[in-house]
Structure 1
């Protein structure tokens, strides 16, 4: 781990439920943060001065400030108005080197804590609002050639972009987090042709057209010179014109780098082209600039592909909605929708907002949000107002999401969230943030470049003096040095990792999986251990009646009738399972009536049926009742069920034992196929961590095909188990629902939340969010991550391998023309290889 940075965050620790900085909740927060990879320490300071702060020592190469905020927010605390951030997009994609230049310049600004700019145009900046405001940030961005229309502006509170006086919002806290974090405008803001260093007379396609002109002029000059069709000066004139068109954008970028005191690849290429011209090799210099310009423009096209894949998500929601106003309807813009409005959705229309169905039934295609391939049936709720207050807890058949597609039935939906707070809007924002975050491999390549480029310059300088050792004219020495300069320029290396990460993140989002940056994407692609929570993750989370065994002298119908008559008066989850199972098995059989139903706390239920006392309860109940010892056959049945991982209920009526019922939280359909798929992908250890007893955990693990089960664990013990797994296996992912499993997920290398659609907590807590409550999405996410890791490795081998071959080859005589063909060819190869991820299909 590199040297840790220290960041102090002002926190409103004195909340109603957190009386002082020594509260146990604060201790739990610091413990949770300290368990996170990349965080060396977390503690509270400034208590004596009355200004408590959370001091976090973290490695910025492993975890970002934005991720720290999410972890703090998921614990229920809010960051005050000192820090803010915004996320925006530049209309035109840029080269990876230009993106890094802008990010580096932003990091130098006073008050900017962290800045990331992606080659696809995504931009994320963390800043101290007391040192720099948004208006000043806009001016600095304009000066850097990265005009963004409404960067960081919240559609919920438009005044936030220009006025800091809004800090005292409706909650009474002095912070701007809600406005700047939850709602961002991610539309294509149209930065304009002057808003980017690749604008020109032909707009976004200017560089490609200029490259084509350079190539055409180069070809004309070469044909004329080769066949002596025209005077030699004409060929030279064509080469000079080719220099102009091929070098136009390269010169612009090189000048910007030099103004920023950066000597980068563009400058190296210009020096090499200038050297070729000085030696009279106009053709080779023109070829160099043509191929370099063509490579640049195709890089821009590739980044545009990744950018458009994300923008396609933002455009899924319609621009207007039909709102019911009494007996009539009115068409309004999405930004005018308010919580509680009822919108009318016709068949085959896209839904305009997150909400609950209040009228009508239909099937909704949720693939745009959750990636589910089968439409989900929807039915109305009884009380819309109450339902939207508990939107996250509603079952799937009642909830709908913006951007999904209605089926054949007309429905009416009560809006639960404003347009900028919908699940789709949050996903687009988070994917845009993920685009701008550098992966560990990308950070390595950038460090490598910072060492490599000066080393190349030193080598070229040394080669200039080769004539002192080798008997050759200076022109030959100079030519060789320029050829090495071309060969050693790490263009392919600069674009190899970001292009793969952007394509992987975009493909995941299209498949209903939200991956928060290159770090989780790479880690998920390389780990070999995955831990699962049991309830609601591997199992359905709803117990079912699975086993019925009758005692001697009783019948199954009598046993189930007594159980149904007693348990239908209880609201316990196990009682509900017994009632549902008994009704299904009894069918139309006559039902018994129970009276005087009484609960025996922690043991079971007692009732009167037909003048006899009936008991349904745990086996221990019958060791405590007088003259109620279980007969051997009932004890044997009960023990067999317990050994199989069932929760058992024994039934007795009068003086007779009727039998035993076995209840179990059943595995999800397809869970076994998921574990088999994960094994094929190279996941060696599949571990379940559960609060249920060890026998239940073992039974579920055996049913779904896990390698190990650890039961009887309290929430803090689950965290310890994750830490042990990390210590044993290096990396481990934790799969849960993102709510109860948040501490364990935060301590895993990669936290994966299921059913994140509509759940703020799951979206904030997880590194990877499966939008659908579908375990089958996990192999897709792991497989895509595996493919991304392979592509990154392939790109690194190609980019570094070509440089390693070309440098000695040019030293020993390879000419500039051949070197530049291989150089630019490798750049295009890694870009095309990365774009394959956009077409990834699970095996």
Structure 2
């Protein structure tokens, strides 16, 4: 059931869309009743369509006129529509009133699309703000107490239990755990944290309980800085938008000035009678109305958007089609973008008499009791292998895990941990694992007790966030399309970042970056190349996605914030679709330019015909609407 407050909220958020819808319905009913000969009802319905559909445009146009002393297309549309209606009433040519209502409907739809874009921006900010909990569990006089985040004070002690979100940036004063920071810093592996380490709001605590101490105000946390950066980047109008707005106002000023001139001066200059003068002036306003120019753009862009959607490319607004076709530099995030974002076992090397199956069986038997992401990757790799359960399993934080399998003690962990039991690790295996580590992979050793005495090495595994199979080919295609520079920007370490960059063919790497650092890199690229695209998936990418000329997010791996902030979303996480999107952008702009030439050509011909007195208003309307239909059909070519 809808309550008054629900209707009020709906009207406030979707009033522009509702106005366009009601205007369209009233226009249809007015046209229908007019053809039935019910003139009174037709005039009433069409008047309502004018008022409801044109109110917002009239308000904006008058506001611009009064406050900025400038004319814009909104006011021109109202003048043209009212002129057509007045002439229709005067000459009893009521179809002219229909034409005026159509003008209003077109602008009402445009206003609804603009309102949607603004609401999308607001949603992205709300999504960012929802990434941290509203309350924090603090210690006061030895008792736990939940308090709102905004009431936290520097010096408060905060308790975070396993699996919970970190409520704000703070320092660890007690406890040990691993934190999933991928969404904030872009690091592909969970990071081990202990006393005196800093933790970030919005990161996910692992298996250990932590006691934190607030060392700076909650409003200064990293996630709050991300929110402010997104707000700032999204409110900055791109140069092309500013150019369009200036063009519209100049166009409107010229047309209205000429319309006033034609309504007053011809009787004094050329000796026209006043009826002919008013008739020509109103015809001028109708044929000079920029409907064909608007139709030259929107149907084309919407067709390209629909085409992209069928191929798994979601464009959030038409303006980005132009920009993505002009991209000269692209910045890629690493984790979840060039890589899959999921840890996998990529190498299994047995030692001595043991086989790969022996290594995986021993490791999976222990790691099946672990919640660590590395352990999960090992268990997944051994999914098709049968293993027996382990006994007395014990996790050693920061080192590894141990247990008893079939009466043998087994250890799985890093080299330092295994080295405590096997003092001399095999040199050839050490050389291999060092090579893996240089490639940014995490190495896990497996050892077990010998039948005689001591321990022996069973083998080693390499775990890594795997590079997407299509990444290297995508980089090649982008270079062939003329992209001048392709870089990687990531919060991960230098070694891992350079390894991935080398694998996919990227030369320039910016590693160990915080969100504001990524934003700075994008800004520097924009100063050099103007139109820059950013491809990412995490919360830490949101400011850079917003700052970039075109933000591209991974639809499956991407966080909610990245998806809301980006201009283009790759729904199936297929990197090769970036080149397809660039081709769509270039083709759509080519068609838009063709349509603009046709639209301006028709307007020019109609204006010349009007000045020479060779066309009447119905012919002018037919020419005006015909050009609109023609460029609309031209734009629909992109649906193929």
TM-score (norm 2): 0.57
Matched, 1:667 2:463: no
Corresponding residue SS for 2:360 = helix
Task: Report how far residue 533 of structure 1 moved.
Answer: 3.1
Corresponding residue SS for 2:598 = helix
Tell me the residue number matched to 2:545: 745
Corresponding residue SS for 2:412 = strand
Tell me the residue number matched to 1:18: none
**Conservation of the 8 A alpha-carbon contact between 1:530 and 1:686:** yes
Kindly indicate which of the two structures has a greater share of residues assigned to helix: 2
Larger deviation: 632-641 or 760-769? 760-769
2: CA distance between counterparts of 1:487 and 1:735? 44
Cα displacement string for residues 376-403 of structure 1 (whole angstroms, at most 9, x for unaligned residues): xxxxxxxxxxxxxxxxx9xxxxxxxxxx
Matched, 1:449 2:251: yes
Task: Report how far residue 202 of structure 1 moved.
Answer: 0.8
2: CA distance between counterparts of 1:249 and 1:757? 49
Q: 1:259 to 1:634 in 2, by over 3 A?
A: closer
Matched, 1:160 2:1: no
1: CA distance between counterparts of 2:80 and 2:309? 33
**Conservation of the 8 A alpha-carbon contact between 2:80 and 2:100:** no
2: CA distance between counterparts of 1:683 and 1:820? 45
Which residues of structure 1 form unaligned runs of 5+?
A: 1-154, 163-175, 214-244, 278-284, 308-392, 394-437
Task: Report how far residue 663 of structure 1 moved.
Answer: 1.5
Q: 1:661 to 1:627 in 2, by over 3 A?
A: closer
**Conservation of the 8 A alpha-carbon contact between 1:440 and 1:519:** no
What pairs with 1:381-460 in structure 2 (closer than 5 Å)? 443-457=245-259, 460=262
1: CA distance between counterparts of 2:492 and 2:326? 30
Q: 1:302 to 1:786 in 2, by over 3 A?
A: farther
Task: Report how far residue 714 of structure 1 moved.
Answer: 3.6
Tell me the residue number matched to 1:637: 432
2: CA distance between counterparts of 1:757 and 1:299? 42
Tell me the residue number matched to 1:265: 80
Tell me the residue number matched to 1:202: 32
Task: Report how far residue 634 of structure 1 moved.
Answer: 1.6
Tell me the residue number matched to 1:601: 397
What pairs with 1:529-678 in structure 2 (closer than 5 Å)? 529-551=329-351, 554-584=354-384, 587=385, 591=387, 595-607=391-403, 614-619=410-415, 621=417, 625=420, 628-653=423-448, 654-668=454-468, 670-671=470-471
Cα displacement string for residues 52-91 of structure 1 (whole angstroms, at most 9, x for unaligned residues): xxxxxxxxxxxxxxxxxxxxxxxxxxxxxxxxxxxxxxxx
Task: Report how far residue 182 of structure 1 moved.
Answer: 8.6
2: CA distance between counterparts of 1:530 and 1:564? 40
**Conservation of the 8 A alpha-carbon contact between 1:487 and 1:819:** yes
Report the RMSD for the aligned CA atoms in angstroms. Answer: 5.7
2: CA distance between counterparts of 1:196 and 1:682? 50
Corresponding residue SS for 2:341 = strand
2: CA distance between counterparts of 1:625 and 1:546? 26
Tell me the residue number matched to 1:152: none
2: CA distance between counterparts of 1:763 and 1:182? 21
Task: Report how far residue 563 of structure 1 moved.
Answer: 2.8
TM-score (norm 1): 0.45
Tell me the residue number matched to 1:280: none
**Conservation of the 8 A alpha-carbon contact between 2:538 and 2:558:** no
Tell me the residue number matched to 1:496: 296
Q: 1:445 to 1:833 in 2, by over 3 A?
A: farther
Which residues of structure 2 form unaligned runs of 5+?
A: 63-74, 113-203, 205-239, 449-453
Corresponding residue SS for 1:570 = coil
**Conservation of the 8 A alpha-carbon contact between 1:306 and 1:506:** no
Q: 1:678 to 1:721 in 2, by over 3 A?
A: same
Task: Report how far residue 664 of structure 1 moved.
Answer: 1.8
**Conservation of the 8 A alpha-carbon contact between 2:440 and 2:464:** yes
Q: How many residues align?
A: 484
Q: 1:756 to 1:536 in 2, by over 3 A?
A: closer
Cα displacement string for residues 630-665 of structure 1 (whole angstroms, at most 9, x for unaligned residues): 443123212332344432223344554444322222
**Conservation of the 8 A alpha-carbon contact between 2:99 and 2:621:** no
Tell me the residue number matched to 2:631: 830
Tell me the residue number matched to 1:694: 494
